[in-house]
Structure 1
């Protein structure tokens, strides 16, 4: 009997449902004899909540696709393909990959973010291999009809009298079968598995077939990518963007899903919140002036156990780590900042985020903290909350919600034009400016 298919398309931070729950889908969500179910395995990346009314699906900052049995959920980013491509190129150092036809060939709202990353990987590898596959010299020892390299005298002495017209030689063979090319081949095979667009899949297959002389890695891990990246030289350094893309695909593809009866399933979920933080980090470091920004600087001493309390001394107090700490030109701490990938101008503010920023404000010398969030709304304005002591109504601190015009910024980054770089410097100064007292 054919299982009824549930195909749901959402944007990030969106909720849909309830959807009808078939017995097969209920078994897939778990828990059951087959394990905890995909609802528990996905966790906060994609919230699947079965109930009496049906299945509720809620997305977070992760975008991509989850497909298992009768269930297929696609989560699309709200950022336009052109902007997102420029941001990816800017953060991860890709070559000039933007072309006018890219938004037509890979529409993120149709094929998903994974296909955009696969398209970028294909373009990077085509550029990298245009001059031919990089090769290395590998030491080989073999019985040869003619002398090549050096004669292996020890082998010759052990052999004694010559019985055939062949001699043992040690020589160096130039070969494309080495670790870097093996990682790139494994990345292409992984890209083919998660690719959805047929024409793009055929391009990946053509590239894969051109690497028949390379031995495939049994599995691909982040350690393999790190080893390939650390061995890059002046001649192979332009392979780094492709390795960065493979790392991204591997990171998003790292979720292993198992359903009943070893059900085949695939998933690719990309953390836009982490990407947004990396994007802001590079942007601020590149365009700030007169201040210093430190990434993920730990706040020490915010919590400490009571003196003399033997029980409390056994516990290690937490040390919060905001995304950014801002220091003035003299090295003195000014304030703490956090980046959250959610358009707070058009959606609600989660209470736990406000609690988190309130703690950062209490730890800041100016008693203020800033939350940076992306928005596509031209009407978005800075907002703020006063942190007060309810009993005395005393002002304890300020929490500022500061929008980042992501469409504008995404088109400016990476530009070499003087006017665009001045505009970026002005935006960076505005994002780091001291909050207006409430």
Structure 2
């Protein structure tokens, strides 16, 4: 960054659209901006340019930035770049619902979200919140699980083989095998992990509070697991006509997981930038 900005450590926000190019002549925001030959930032920019997600060139009189088919936001040093779709947020959300089969948000209010800086990411998380509320309203999926334990009040099937093996009664309980309908299953575990991811990604206090509130409700009966792509794929295998309500939620969680952070393959070390970039080709091919 230039000397004045590096001293103040202020974040320079640059709003862009997909497939747009700005130069110091066309955009005063990038005029006179430089990275002071910071080697770490230069490696990040080089990897970012090679990935064809964003192109950033450091010129004599400032920066030249070109965007492609990715939308979202990325942070490089003290520069925050947000990339919006060419379609405005509300209409774009309607198209996303149609493409991915998400439910309609009847009370969506763009004024409560900072759409200019974090529009697409916040829209996805807002939709995730709506889907989670819909699932809670209809009731979490429950699955019968086999439980084997000693009970003072017998329930289910008494294991007489275990009874004989132990040589009769040793205390006032019998070993029983019974079944309980539990909410602690793969679908709900993935939902909880996705809500926690959303609360980490969002920059909106209202969204974060709502996501944490629902997460606390789920944590009362659902175990916390690590969110991975394999977890989401395994959860998809559990989708049937009784659990179809989870399908839109899993698609949102998958997009958030695959688009969070920006990682590059480097011979020296793994390079990762804070941000969120979504490939619009996934939307057009849906």
TM-score with structure 1 setting the length: 0.56
Deviations 1:186-220 (A, max 9, x none): 11111112112111111111111111121112232
Q: Does 1:154 align with 2:154?
A: no
- Report the equivalent of 1:75: 83
Q: Does 1:270 align with 2:283?
A: no
Deviations 1:302-322 (A, max 9, x none): xxxxxxxxxxxxxxxxxxxxx
Q: Does 1:248 align with 2:261?
A: no
Among residues 142, 149, 154, which one is paired with 2:149 in the alignment?
A: 142
Mean CA deviation greater in 112-121 or 269-278: 269-278
Could you tell me how far apart the structure 1 residues matched to 2:55 and 2:198 are? Answer: 25
Deviation, 1:91, is 0.5
The 3-state SS of whatever aligns with 1:255 is strand
Among residues 7, 17, 20, which one is paired with 2:34 in the alignment?
A: 20
Among residues 67, 77, 95, which one is paired with 1:59 in the alignment?
A: 67
Among residues 216, 219, 224, which one is paired with 1:216 in the alignment?
A: 224
The answer to whether the 8 Å contact 1:89/1:97 transfers is no
The answer to whether the 8 Å contact 2:147/2:178 transfers is yes
The answer to whether the 8 Å contact 2:56/2:65 transfers is yes
The answer to whether the 8 Å contact 1:151/1:168 transfers is yes
Deviation, 1:78, is 2.2
Deviation, 1:50, is 4.0
The 3-state SS of whatever aligns with 2:15 is strand
- Report the equivalent of 2:26: none
Could you tell me how far apart the structure 1 residues matched to 2:231 and 2:238 are? Answer: 11
Deviation, 1:14, is 2.0
Deviations 1:377-421 (A, max 9, x none): xxxxxxxxxxxxxxxxxxxxxxxxxxxxxxxxxxxxxxxxxxxxx
Among residues 182, 192, 215, which one is paired with 1:175 in the alignment?
A: 182
Could you tell me how far apart the structure 2 residues matched to 1:196 and 1:134 are? Answer: 30
Q: How does 1:329-340 map to 2 (within 5 A)?
A: none
- Report the equivalent of 1:129: 136
| Aligned-residue RMSD, C-alpha | 2.8
Could you tell me how far apart the structure 1 residues matched to 2:97 and 2:258 are? Answer: 18
Among residues 36, 42, 46, which one is paired with 1:29 in the alignment?
A: 42
